[in-house]
Amino acid sequence: MRITISGPPGSGKTTVCMLLAKRLGVQCLISGTVFREMAKESNLSLAEFGKLAEYDPKYDRIVDETMLSRALALQNVVVEGRLTGHLLSRKDPSAFKVYLDAAPNARAERIKERENEDIQMIKEEMLERENCEARRYQQYYGIDINDKSVYDLVVDSTHRTPEQVVDLIVKKLEVWP
């Protein structure tokens, strides 16, 4: 079974992806890892690299094509990424697609814990990144990133631990066709 975990930055998708994959005993693929590696190789911040990607679609396409091809090569995998639910639903409609969301302040606090940066700067970069990504995804793929209709499960992770989110996903998987 292929499972996607999508959502905005700081929603918990990477942590949940890793925990869920471990619990199910399957591999996990993290799209942010590929994007961060590309930003680092270019000596740019995530926000700067996102701006670059906004003007040159090859960066998004490389990340997205890599994630999609790796996911399709595996029968049992949990795939994390902003677009994985949308993109994989086009190639494998049977994939179980999860969308995680959380309040912006909660997401910024989570990012702060991970990156140890100024909270105001984090909020500004987070919102700038989200707007930038939304424009790119619409332009490049015709995807409205805010359209949650492709997801089998939408979870607000604001007041839930990653383990609680994994429990919700597993419970839904048990009754899912």
pLDDT of res. 5: 97
Q: How far is CA 77 from each of CA 2, 35, 134, rounded to the nearest angstrom?
A: 5, 19, 26
Average of per-residue pLDDT across 35-58: 83
Q: Which CATH number fits domain 2-158: 3.40.50.10710, 1.10.1740.10, 3.40.50.300, 3.90.10.10?
A: 3.40.50.300
Distance CA 173, CA 36 (A): 30
Which residues does 106 contact at the CB level (< 8 Å), separation at least 6? 10, 157, 158
Which residues does 164 contact at the CB level (< 8 Å), separation at least 6? none
Domain residue spans in the chain? 2-158
pLDDT tens for each residue of 54-89? 788 888 788 888 889 889 999 999 999 988 999 998
Q: With the CA atoms of 109, 169, 84 and 24 taken in that order, what torsion angle do they form, in degrees rounded to the nearest 10?
A: 110
pLDDT of res. 42: 83
pLDDT tens for each residue of 128-159? 889 988 988 898 889 999 899 999 999 999 99
pLDDT of res. 164: 98
